[in-house]
Amino acid sequence: MNMNSKERLLRLFNYDMWGNEQILLCLQQHLEFNDSKQSIQYFAHIAGAQELWYRRIKQKPLDDLAVWPEYGLAAALQKLKTLSAQWKQLLNSESLELDGKISYSNSKGMPYETMMSDILHHVIIHGQHHRAQIAKLLRKADIKPPATDFIYFCRAE
């Protein structure tokens, strides 16, 4: 299979949503373990951070956005599903320039310019980082976390 850069990124965003769904299913089955609140906060943060980056790319205001939102699991999943569709629409856009620079300011107001493809890869890696934190909290509670490594997604496809 010979994929171009956009197709590879689309596959990574499919993987990201799959990984989020795997973690969600596990969390839904184990709502009462010691660190469940922290795990739900990490899960909601994945959605909050994705929305932050999507808005930065689209040059939309961030004033009303919480990067660490207090979503429950259902609300976070719905937000992630909406964002997943938005990422796919962005990646399927004819005008998308993966090598183009996006200008934005970080949370401290410092201005930056970052290549679009780097931002998109960051979104995927950031989600995997927090899913791993959730997996660690699950293991600490003697709960077997789901396998969310990319290779498991590939095998499930």
Q: Coil, strand, or helix at residue 114?
A: strand
Specify binding-site residues: 45, 126, 130
Cα 28 versus chain centre, distance? 18
Q: What is the DSSP letter of 145?
A: P
**pLDDT for position 31:** 86
For the chain, which residues make up each domain, given as ranges? Answer: 5-92+118-156
- Give the other-Cβ count within 10 Å of 129's Cβ: 11
Per-residue pLDDT tens over the stretch 69-94: 999 999 999 999 999 999 999 999 99
For residue 3, is pLDDT > 80?
Answer: no
- Calculate ∠ Cα 48-52-54, nearest 5°: 115
Tokens of 10: 């689309």
- What radius of gyration do the chain's Cα atoms show? 16
Specify binding-site residues for a divalent metal cation: 45, 126, 130
Tokens of 18: 């799959």
Q: Coil, strand, or helix at residue 148?
A: coil
For residue 5, is pLDDT > 70?
Answer: yes
Look at 35 and 86; give whichever has higher pLDDT. Answer: 86
The H-assigned helical ranges of 30-149 are 36-58, 73-92, 116-140
Alpha-carbon distance of 157 to 149, in angstroms, equals 13
* CATH topology assigned to domain 5-92+118-156: Four Helix Bundle (Hemerythrin (Met), subunit A) (1.20.120)
**Distances in whole angstroms, Cα of residue 150 to Cα of each of 26, 32, 49, 134, 153:** 17, 28, 20, 16, 5
Global pTM reads 0.94
The residue written with tokens 């396998």 in the block is: 147
Q: Among 1-5, 42-46, 121-125, 146-150, which stretch is predicted with the lowest mean pLDDT?
A: 1-5
**pLDDT for position 1:** 60
Q: Which of 27, 25, 40 is nearest to 76 (CA)?
A: 40
Q: Give the chain's mean pLDDT.
A: 95
Q: Coil, strand, or helix at residue 103?
A: strand
